[in-house]
Structure 1
Amino acid sequence: MKKLLSFLKYSLLLGVSAFLMWYALKELDFEKLWAELQNANYGWVALSLVMGVAAYLSRAYRWQMQIKPTGYNPSLANTYNAMMVGYVANLVLPRMGEVVRCSMLRRSDGLPVNKGFGTVIAERFVDMLMLLLALGITLLVEFNQIKDFLWELLSSKYSNLQQTVNQLYWLAGIMLVLGIVLILVGYRYLNKLRQNNYFQKGELFVRGMLQGVFSITKLDNQASFWGHTFFVWLMYYGMSLVVFYALPGTSHLSYGAALSVLVVGSLGMAAPVQGGVGVYHLLVQATLLLYGVPKEAGMAYALLAHTSQTLLVVLMGVLSFIAGMLRRPAVAAATEHETIANHEFNR
């Protein structure tokens, strides 16, 4: 039954991606689209790929820094391989990569999956902060360019938005009441619950995951961590910018336009579909329309940027998977290591 549900979920997400791609392409002049791609300067695309490699290496080093406070010290190679295999897994099934990358480090270095998953949650939180920062800068720099679009969007959706907000207030109130009830019931029966094996296992899992989450507060070098964070997002911005110069229809665009594409493209990649396919293309094409870029040129940019980076992830991920499988699994006893790790973390 679980396999059937997983298959149906995968098929549904794949169907959504296919529909969105069809919708994005259905009204385009394919001769103009092909002409844009034929006239592309792929040297700029190659530069974007170099930036992508630099960003992935920096992310792997940053993740390694997060893991060390939990009491485990995987090599940079193992951390990088696990991360890239996780990215490939996300192309198959969204959000599966987070579990896969933690499982890879469990195999290679004995890192418990719950602690690894906690570090991934912290990583996602930091990336969300950076995305919000990029969004704020974009609104300041490009407000005149996008204000009409935002006003039209908000005006047409105001009544629906007001109704949705009212519904959210009710939902938040209900969730608050239910949360209070669950806390009171849990507190009353806490001693009995702790005698349950399943509760004990769940409690251990959550404790380990929280150690991974809060490891970000115990880093040896906070400046290095945030330096790598800003470097990663600078590379993401550079990747958005240099692909502009690869196409005749986008080569005139400004640095501010690249910021807009970065923010909107990041939101598209975060959508719960395989690799953001369809969502990324639609959002980027719509954003470039605000800058006077024809639909065909906008789609050519989205195809070039997304496809090149996806192929890079697949290539690097496959090589990382092979390298990871060739390494011998960790042989240290998990229980002993766990005890030492907990002691180091608490200290």
Structure 2
Amino acid sequence: MKKQIGKWLAIFIPLLIGIGIIYYQYTTLKPHEIDNIKQSLQKADYSYILLSLAIACVGYWSRAYRWKFALNHMGYQTHFHNNFFTVSVSYLVNLTVPRSGEISRAALLKKYEDVPFDKAFGTIVAERMVDLAIFFLFVCLGFISQFDKIYQFLLSRNVSLQVMIYYGVAAVILGLIFLLIWIYAEWPVLVKLKKKLSGLTEGMATIFRMKNKWKYLFHSFFIWMSYLSMFYVAVFALPETATISFDIVIMGFIFGSLAVGFSNGGLGAYPFSIALIFSLYGISNDVGTAFGWLVWTSQTILTIVLGLISYVLLPVFNSKK
């Protein structure tokens, strides 16, 4: 019973957050701003959106191709189409419960390629760690280049730099303490947990020992460049955003990526965050909102279509096994 309640809460809490953000944004928009958003969506050049989606598909391909290096290192020769289909399905599942797609991805690979779930999941966790590190580089570059603008914004929201430093230092200290306990503590509960996670640990460690780690890292950076490129291409869809500088694009990309984790696939949170960050650079709220919804909707449609097609094709491509 508790598991069922937890499962439904994991679905509905992010969904309610997204709906709440949409309601808040809608109620704070003036009637003429809503009309401007509708007009912006109508006059958008959707050829750039289609190009953005094509770049996104290349990112899907690269993520599926990168996965084979970690799997091959552990001795599993998987079919590329299964890698691609399971990646596509995982993105679709993430629209329901954030981060649950990783579990479905490992489970599907176990079903169709007989790769142990814990090892497959370990390689996925390793991917996320690498992705997080690369995204952190984007954040550092963006915040360093736009420090003055961000600092003034935080001050306007009564958030001082000193408070942020305190929280940052506290987080680092707690992280180090946890890491030291995990490595050196011999508590029975911890030893038992390490044993259960041995397959997961092996999967995570593959990146450091694999023969093709440089190809793996190349695709890791390529994936994130494809994410950035598909966001950058989309700005040309609206006349009001077509002339914005690349530093604004970087900041929009960063905050948009962060917003995805707040609700189901960034529902509500993504357009809101884009409008908020664009407003710091003098772009009107209605234009930022229109652009955010344009990008989010197109990417979500692609995720749903590719995910459903992949889910259908998985048993078809593996029917002869």
Could you say whether these structures have the same fold, taking a TM-score greater than 0.5 normalized by the shorter chain as the test? yes
Question: Does the CA-based 8 Å contact 1:257-1:291 persist in structure 2?
Answer: yes
CA shift in 2, pair 1:34/1:113, >3 Å: same
- Asked if 1:224 is matched to 2:215, the reply is yes
Q: Distance in 2 between matches of 1:184 and 1:78?
A: 40
- Asked if 1:285 is matched to 2:275, the reply is yes
Q: Distance in 1 between matches of 2:206 and 2:169?
A: 37
Aligned to 1:133: 137
1:246-285 maps to which residues of 2 (within 5 A)? 246-269=237-260, 271-285=261-275
Aligned to 1:212: 203
Aligned to 2:160: 158
Q: Distance in 1 between matches of 2:6 and 2:130?
A: 32
The structure having more radius of gyration, on CA atoms, is: 1
Q: Give the drift of 1:241.
A: 1.1
Aligned amino acid, residue 103 of structure 1? A
Aligned to 1:25: 26
The alignment of Structure 1 onto Structure 2 pairs a total of residues equal to 315
Question: Does the CA-based 8 Å contact 2:259-2:270 persist in structure 1?
Answer: yes
1:16-95 maps to which residues of 2 (within 5 A)? 16-28=17-29, 29-95=33-99
Give the superposed CA RMSD: 3.0
Aligned to 2:10: 9
Q: Give the drift of 1:63.
A: 1.2
CA shift in 2, pair 1:311/1:69, >3 Å: same
Query: 3-state DSSP class of the match of 1:252?
Result: coil
Q: Give the drift of 1:110.
A: 0.6
Question: Does the CA-based 8 Å contact 1:85-1:97 persist in structure 2?
Answer: yes
Query: 3-state DSSP class of the match of 2:225?
Result: helix
Question: Does the CA-based 8 Å contact 1:108-1:330 persist in structure 2?
Answer: no
Q: Distance in 2 between matches of 1:7 and 1:139?
A: 37
Q: Distance in 1 between matches of 2:174 and 2:138?
A: 29
CA shift in 2, pair 1:107/1:283, >3 Å: same
How high is the TM-score relative to the length of structure 2? Answer: 0.88
Overall identity of the aligned pairs, in %: 28
Name segments (4+ residues, structure 1) moved above 6 Å.
Answer: none
Question: Does the CA-based 8 Å contact 1:108-1:327 persist in structure 2?
Answer: no
Q: Give the drift of 1:185.
A: 4.0
- Asked if 1:98 is matched to 2:102, the reply is yes
Q: Give the drift of 1:160.
A: 8.8
Q: Distance in 2 between matches of 1:247 and 1:298?
A: 10
CA shift in 2, pair 1:234/1:172, >3 Å: closer
- Asked if 1:325 is matched to 2:321, the reply is no
Aligned to 1:310: 300
Question: Does the CA-based 8 Å contact 2:142-2:250 persist in structure 1?
Answer: yes
How high is the TM-score relative to the length of structure 1? Answer: 0.82
Question: Does the CA-based 8 Å contact 1:110-1:330 persist in structure 2?
Answer: no
Give unpaired runs (5+ residues) of structure 2.
none
CA shift in 2, pair 1:136/1:294, >3 Å: same
Give unpaired runs (5+ residues) of structure 1.
194-198, 332-347
Q: Distance in 1 between matches of 2:101 and 2:120?
A: 12
Aligned to 1:111: 115
Q: Give the drift of 1:279.
A: 1.8
